[in-house]
Amino acid sequence: MSEFKIGPLNHVGVAVPSIEEAANTYRELYGAIDITEPGEMEAQGVRFCFVNLPNSQIELIEPFGENSPIVNFLKKNPKGGQHHVCFEVDDIHEAKKVMEERGATVLNEPRIGAHGTLIIFVHPKNSNGVLIELMEAPKH
Amino acid sequence: MSEFKIGPLNHVGVAVPSIEEAANTYRELYGAIDITEPGEMEAQGVRFCFVNLPNSQIELIEPFGENSPIVNFLKKNPKGGQHHVCFEVDDIHEAKKVMEERGATVLNEPRIGAHGTLIIFVHPKNSNGVLIELMEAPKH
């Protein structure tokens, strides 16, 4: 039996029409002072930035490019909404193997995510309707 | 100008048809070993338990009683889904005042939440479609 387990809650992904407008909400309404500059991930079809909190992050994502996977999400939720939850794992290849051994559907081969480490996504049907991202923890 | 700001991300609220089944998912698929016993909050119309992670929590909630506010959410999302994000604040009364001064709609008077401290909810329309809970941090 594998002793695989998830680690910290790295971030909550929130899909929005505009990450600049959403960042303003966190800054002006909630007083968040540490928000990263926007970045782009062409392969994943998103522009993103992070609202840094003392223990975790909100990842704001908006569609980027023509085949962005979050376009449909925003059609259903025009103002935006919670899109995924990301947990850290020690080893993404072990995580993928364990998820599949336990019957879950992994949506992609491990690829580099917004933190520069390998990530996979697990289908929402396997986790009570929640899209789960697993992310290899950055090595310090 | 108030220096109000949110603190740590205390938890992500996930609404599900059954917190026992959802707890099993976190235990058996993701290897979470620290899951609290279920509790009930009659006034809020939920049964709940927490999946404890090293830095944060997943709060699993299911409907409790006849007028549960999450019944409609589950009608739209029968398998469940991300329901709210909770940030800690120093003083809930200050938080409510600041939210209202800044034009946000606070959905309730401060009341005791699942952690035994005072909480409020801010309308999703004010935060890019995300229902935000603000929770007075437990005093240690």
In which region does residue B80 sit, left (phi positive, over 0), alpha (psi from -120 to 50) or beta (all else)? Answer: left
Whether the pLDDT of residue A1 is over 80: the answer is no
The Cα-based distances of A22 to A3, A102, B1, B88 in angstroms read 39, 37, 21, 19
Is A22 in contact with B99 (Cβ distance < 8 A)?
no
Return the beta strands (E) in A27-117 as ranges: 39-41, 46-52, 57-63, 81-89, 111-112
From chain A, pick out residues whose CB is under 8 angstroms from the CB of B58: 9, 85
pLDDT in tens, A102-140: 999 999 999 999 999 999 999 999 999 999 999 999 876
Superfamily, domain A9-136:
2,3-Dihydroxybiphenyl 1,2-Dioxygenase, domain 1 (3.10.180.10)
* Nearest residue on chain A to B124, alpha-carbon basis: A81
Please indicate whether residue A44 or residue B136 has the higher confidence score (pLDDT): B136
Domain boundaries, chain B: 9-136
According to DSSP, the residues that pair with A49 across neighbouring strands are: A60
Contacts with A, B 30-89, CB within 8 Å: 30-33, 53-58, 60, 77-83, 85, 87
Please indicate whether residue A54 or residue B42 has the higher confidence score (pLDDT): A54
**Interface confidence (ipTM) of the complex:** 0.95
Is A54 in contact with B7 (Cβ distance < 8 A)?
yes
Is B29 in contact with A128 (Cβ distance < 8 A)?
no
